Amino acid sequence: MTRVKIALLGAAHVHAPGYAAWLQAQPDVEFIGFSEDNPQYARDFAAAPHLPLAQLLALNPHGVIICSENAKHRALTEAAAQAGAHILCEKPISTTLEDAQAMRRACQHSGVSLHVAYPLRYSPAVQELRQLISMGDLGEILAYSGINHSICPDRDRAWFSDPALAGGGAGMDHIVHLADLLFSFGERVDSVYAQLRPVPELVLPEHAGVDAVGLVTLRLASGAGATIDCSWSRPRSYPRWGHLKLDVIGTRGLQSLDAFAESINVTTPGGHHWAGYGPDLNAAMLRDFIHACQGQAAPLLADAEAGEETLKIVLAAYASSECNAPVSLS
């Protein structure tokens, strides 16, 4: 059996340690190491080879997973594409549309695939909801109402609330997941109206001006409307990182999605938390990426187009909030 060689480019993202642990546990995967310039983030990977980027790519990985700060996605993608590696990039695809388009061109030129980490596509509940919509069981869709709330992740990874590295705050972090679900349901966005606001108490003091809460309203090409609450509104003491929910209202019924409802209350001497027991969505996404690296079909894996289209919505939301008016995408 030929093992698929996978490398991790950057370790700044909160998902990086979990990705590495999964890769190391797969008998058909050779996790060849990671690159990371920040010693603080590199410490999470003491058991894995830590190599400079050029040296790591010289090992000819079949695929790479980019887990750097958002602003570094383009440079790492272009380097990996030149090395002939397929790419799974953490969301958002980039912080600017120019960078996203350059990433897609680099991968097309090198003949490698570019994917974006949208694991919610692998939720059984999401797949069931997608089928209900596509089969017409809910009738004509009138509206979507989504929330993606969490604790601000900047205590563990300070860059998340640093616009220079993240591209924004809660809006950049959280709009994309629900925007991608709408995209995967076949919806396309005509216009965006948003209000994004800072709440200094929710983020690190040095990033007090970044958006921490927001509400986005979308006018869809289908005629339906959608709202996305993308706030970092959960306190540090919240018993879980956060949640994602979506209500879909049609002429024949309403369906509610709670993507992380499967959990139990756990109380220990150290405190109280909700422990999830549902399917591992990241593992399902990573398995599909391994299939893609082997030339197999991976229909649920988000591609560069999904990354670009969801980024357009995010950037339009920031523009709308700045001018206090709807921004057209058509």
- Cα distance between residue 330 and residue 323, in whole Å: 18
Q: How is residue 89 written in tokens? A: 């990039």
> Within this chain, do residues 139 and 112 fall inside the same structural domain, yes or no?
no
SS3 16: helix
The count of other CB atoms within 10 Å of the CB of residue 219 is 18
> Within this chain, do residues 163 and 143 fall inside the same structural domain, yes or no?
yes
| CATH code for position 37 | 3.40.50.720
- pLDDT value of position 236: 86
- Domain termination residue (choose one: 116, 132, 147): 116
- Mean pLDDT, rounded, of the chain: 96
> Within this chain, do residues 56 and 187 fall inside the same structural domain, yes or no?
no
Q: Which residue has the higher pLDDT, 237 or 248?
A: 248
- Domain termination residue (choose one: 116, 149, 170): 116
> Within this chain, do residues 186 and 205 fall inside the same structural domain, yes or no?
yes
Whether residue 102 is contained in a domain is answered as: yes
Q: How confident is the model at residue 330 (pLDDT cuts 50, 70, 90)?
A: confident
- pLDDT value of position 44: 78
pLDDT, tens digit, 9 for 90 and up, residues 126-182: 999 999 999 999 999 999 999 999 999 998 899 999 999 999 999 999 999 999 999
> Within this chain, do residues 258 and 177 fall inside the same structural domain, yes or no?
yes
C-alpha angle 88-92-96 in degrees, rounded to nearest 5: 115
> Within this chain, do residues 136 and 272 fall inside the same structural domain, yes or no?
yes
What φ, ψ does residue 303 adopt, rounded to 5°?
-100, -175
Is the Cβ–Cβ distance between 106 and 136 less than 8 Å?
no
Rg from Cα positions in the chain: 19
For residue 92, cis peptide bond before it (omega within 30 degrees of 0): yes
Whether residue 221 is contained in a domain is answered as: yes
Whether residue 158 is contained in a domain is answered as: yes
pLDDT, tens digit, 9 for 90 and up, residues 264-310: 989 999 888 888 888 999 999 999 999 999 999 999 999 999 999 99
Question: For residue 72, with 0-12 CB atoms within 10 Å meaning exposed, 13-18 middle and 19 or more buried, which class applies?
Answer: buried
> Within this chain, do residues 158 and 105 fall inside the same structural domain, yes or no?
no
> Within this chain, do residues 128 and 90 fall inside the same structural domain, yes or no?
no
> Within this chain, do residues 80 and 218 fall inside the same structural domain, yes or no?
no
- Strand-pairing partners, residue 215, are 195, 229
The count of other CB atoms within 10 Å of the CB of residue 124 is 12
Is the Cβ–Cβ distance between 132 and 185 less than 8 Å?
no
Whether residue 289 is contained in a domain is answered as: no
Q: How is residue 316 written in tokens? A: 């339009």
> Within this chain, do residues 142 and 56 fall inside the same structural domain, yes or no?
no
Please give the tally of structural domains in the chain. Answer: 2
Name which of 61, 111, 69 is nearest 89 in CA terms: 69
In the block, tokens 């010289």 appear at 58
Is the Cβ–Cβ distance between 307 and 74 less than 8 Å?
no
Mean pLDDT of 237-244: 90
Whether residue 83 is contained in a domain is answered as: yes
Highest mean pLDDT among 43-52, 147-156, 215-224: 215-224
Q: How confident is the model at residue 1 (pLDDT cuts 50, 70, 90)?
A: low
Whether residue 291 is contained in a domain is answered as: no
Whether residue 84 is contained in a domain is answered as: yes
Whether residue 295 is contained in a domain is answered as: no
Q: Is the pLDDT of residue 45 over 90?
A: no
Per the structure, the complete domain to which residue 196 belongs is given by 120-280+301-328
> Within this chain, do residues 197 and 227 fall inside the same structural domain, yes or no?
yes
> Within this chain, do residues 160 and 112 fall inside the same structural domain, yes or no?
no
- pLDDT value of position 64: 99
Conformational region of residue 49, where left means phi above 0, alpha means psi within -120 to 50, and beta covers everything else = beta
| CATH code for position 132 | 3.30.360.10
Q: Give per-residue burial for 224-252: e unless 16+ CB within 10 Å, then b.
A: bebbbbbbbbbeeeeeeebbbbbebbbee
Sign of the C-alpha dihedral computed for residues 267, 271, 274 and 275 taken in this order = negative
- Domain termination residue (choose one: 84, 116, 148): 116
